[in-house]
């Protein structure tokens, strides 16, 4: 389930049905900056910052803001009215043109390991947190503008974001929410009316592109890197203050007799991270940039850059062109990278512990949790009550088959639930049996010859295994269809929306988001959104691998 689904299921909350109001009429809170030290220098110039958790900074105004997209469900959770006119104070806030009284914008300071190497100070180079508000369910939420201009952490960059990357962030964060995967969310997407120069392919040919601003929303955007920069600079007192702040405000279950328990907290971070990565693996999501500065301390998916979705099942596939040689952040390595990142966090937090045993135990807990969660997830995806030792060869052979020929990860698992396991006459016909999964194959040749024979053989073994289950077909199919989405936000779908918006057409974005709000439902009128990646998208920019260019 998503991180807030249990809260939203209760309409009895005293504020759940309050009428929505304009964002400008909210009461604004600034707990993070009120309880932690600020950078004393007010000059908004790139620099190294010390003895601080953030720097005060104002968004840079844009010339002609225009609302392109709006998340109605998130707006409902927050209790914010959609701005319905062009010149509206809410729109001015969401593009960075207006800072309301009570808002105290800032950019956070953090560091991180990038592609396995310590990169030193990084920080919010193009993200500015405006304020905190209380949503309708009494949860604190931060409003953050991405692409709102330079900060002291922008280095040589301009702090802006282009439309294409902003569309991808807006749509994917919302799609992940509806997939029930813990994630930051996006309230709005605003065209700035200004051009931003980017070298999309890193080939020395920068071009101007439309700029945009996304309003991101999360209880907190604190990352592993917020702690790392403090430990790296020997700021251990501040490290403790930040840890205490996070535990008290976001991990109340980790308080022990009124004091923060660092051991319980680290173990919970490890547990949440294991669950998060398991969820990515379940739906074939590849983050693409699992640097430690892109790892949420709350266990949320954060920073949608060059992400991607498995089309054909390739464990070594990475959506990040920067990672194409080493493939550090490929699909199959995500659990190991998460563990490595937690190891770096453990090294960072070591000054808070008397000895390393609790940290080692936390890392072991990650491994145990991931293994247990992934086993349960595989069981659900296949329709089993549980994975047993007898299933090992069946699973090994399955993933060998998926990798041997170009087989769509999402479609294959979804189609397994349609197998007529109770109709022996159909099962006796190899060709008829193969038809149930044929739409998952990208190459027609895979449906004939030896590979087809191997697929049929595996399907018969699978059906025999299903026959041992002690539950009804209806129950099994329902569980499988909740584990295997029919609709995921494939990269070519994002590119179609981007292309249309560039022509002033928002219908593609709106239609796609409408479908993605029900990813586990059949929605037969929208079958085209569940099809394999079209051939034209195989090598087109934006439809497969992506660069880190914004």
Q: Which residues are catalytic?
A: 293
Q: Report how far residue 503's alpha carbon sits from residue 266's, in angstroms, rounded to the nearest whole number.
A: 48
Pairing mode of beta strands 185-198, 54-56? unpaired
Asked if 254 and 265 touch (Cβ cutoff 8 Å), the reply is yes
- CA count, 13 A, side-chain hemisphere, 432: 10
Asked if 115 and 132 touch (Cβ cutoff 8 Å), the reply is no
Q: Report how far residue 356's alpha carbon sits from residue 196's, in angstroms, rounded to the nearest whole number.
A: 47
Q: Report how far residue 230's alpha carbon sits from residue 237's, in angstroms, rounded to the nearest whole number.
A: 9
User: If DSSP codes are grouped into helix, strand and coil, which group holds residue 534?
Assistant: coil
Surface-to-core class of residue 14, CB atoms within 10 Å of its CB (0-12 exposed, 13-18 middle, 19+ buried): exposed
Q: Report how far residue 321's alpha carbon sits from residue 140's, in angstroms, rounded to the nearest whole number.
A: 36
Is the Cα dihedral 83, 86, 88, 89 positive or negative? positive
Surface-to-core class of residue 126, CB atoms within 10 Å of its CB (0-12 exposed, 13-18 middle, 19+ buried): buried
Asked if 296 and 206 touch (Cβ cutoff 8 Å), the reply is no
Q: Report how far residue 506's alpha carbon sits from residue 491's, in angstroms, rounded to the nearest whole number.
A: 17
Length of the chain: 550
- Report CA-CA distances (Å) from 352 to 310, 364, 399: 40, 19, 43
Asked if 273 and 256 touch (Cβ cutoff 8 Å), the reply is no
Number of Cβ atoms within 10 Å of the Cβ of 426: 14
Number of Cβ atoms within 10 Å of the Cβ of 304: 26
């Amino acid at each position: 389930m998503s991180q807030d689904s249990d809260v939203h299921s209760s309409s009895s909350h005293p504020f759940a049905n309050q009428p929505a109001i304009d964002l400008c009429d909210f009461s604004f809170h600034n707990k993070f900056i009120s309880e932690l030290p600020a950078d004393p220098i007010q000059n908004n110039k790139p620099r190294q910052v010390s003895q601080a958790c953030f720097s005060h900074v104002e968004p840079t105004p844009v010339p002609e803001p225009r609302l392109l997209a709006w998340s109605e469900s998130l707006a409902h959770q927050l209790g914010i009215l959609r701005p319905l006119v062009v010149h509206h104070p809410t729109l001015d806030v969401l593009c960075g043109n207006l800072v309301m009284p009570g808002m105290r914008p800032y950019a956070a300071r953090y560091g991180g390991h990038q592609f396995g190497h310590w990169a030193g100070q990084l920080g919010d180079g193009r993200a500015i947190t405006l304020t905190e508000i209380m949503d309708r369910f009494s949860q604190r939420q931060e409003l953050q503008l991405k692409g709102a201009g330079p900060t002291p952490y922008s280095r040589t960059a301009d702090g802006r974001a282009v439309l294409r990357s902003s569309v991808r962030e807006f749509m994917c964060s919302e799609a992940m929410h509806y997939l029930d995967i813990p994630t930051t969310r996006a309230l709005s997407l605003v065209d700035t009316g200004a051009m931003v120069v980017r070298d999309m392919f890193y080939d020395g040919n920068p071009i101007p592109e439309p700029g945009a601003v996304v309003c991101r929303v999360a209880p907190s955007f604190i990352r592993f890197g917020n702690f790392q920069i403090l430990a790296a600079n020997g700021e251990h007192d501040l490290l403790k203050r930040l840890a205490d702040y996070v535990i008290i405000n976001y991990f109340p279950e980790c308080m022990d007799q009124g004091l923060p328990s660092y051991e319980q907290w680290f173990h919970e971070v490890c547990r949440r991270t294991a669950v998060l990565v398991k969820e990515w693996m379940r739906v074939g999501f590849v983050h693409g940039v699992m640097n430690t500065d892109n790892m949420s301390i709350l266990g949320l998916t954060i920073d949608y850059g060059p992400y991607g979705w498995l089309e054909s099942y390739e464990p070594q596939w990475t959506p990040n062109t920067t990672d194409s040689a080493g493939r550090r952040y490929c699909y199959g390595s995500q659990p190991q990278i998460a563990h490595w990142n937690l190891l770096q966090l453990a090294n960072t937090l070591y000054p808070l512990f008397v000895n390393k045993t609790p940290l080692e135990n936390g890392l072991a807990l990650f491994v145990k949790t991931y293994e247990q969660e992934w086993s349960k997830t595989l069981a659900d995806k296949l329709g089993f009550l549980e994975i047993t030792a007898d299933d090992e060869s069946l699973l090994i052979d399955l993933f060998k088959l998926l990798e041997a020929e170009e087989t769509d990860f999402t479609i294959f698992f979804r189609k397994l639930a349609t197998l007529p396991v109770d109709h022996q006459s159909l099962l006796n016909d190899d060709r008829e049996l193969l038809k149930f999964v044929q739409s998952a194959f990208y190459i027609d040749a895979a449906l004939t010859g030896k590979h087809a024979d191997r697929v049929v053989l595996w399907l018969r073994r699978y059906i025999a295994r299903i026959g041992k289950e002690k539950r009804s077909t209806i129950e099994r199919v329902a569980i499988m269809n909740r584990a295997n989405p029919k609709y995921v936000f494939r990269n070519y779908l994002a590119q179609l929306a981007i292309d249309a918006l560039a022509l002033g057409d928002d219908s593609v974005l709106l239609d796609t988001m409408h479908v993605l709000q029900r990813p586990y439902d059949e929605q037969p009128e929208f079958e085209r959104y569940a099809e394999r990646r079209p051939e034209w998208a195989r090598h087109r920019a934006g439809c497969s691998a992506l660069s880190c260019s914004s």
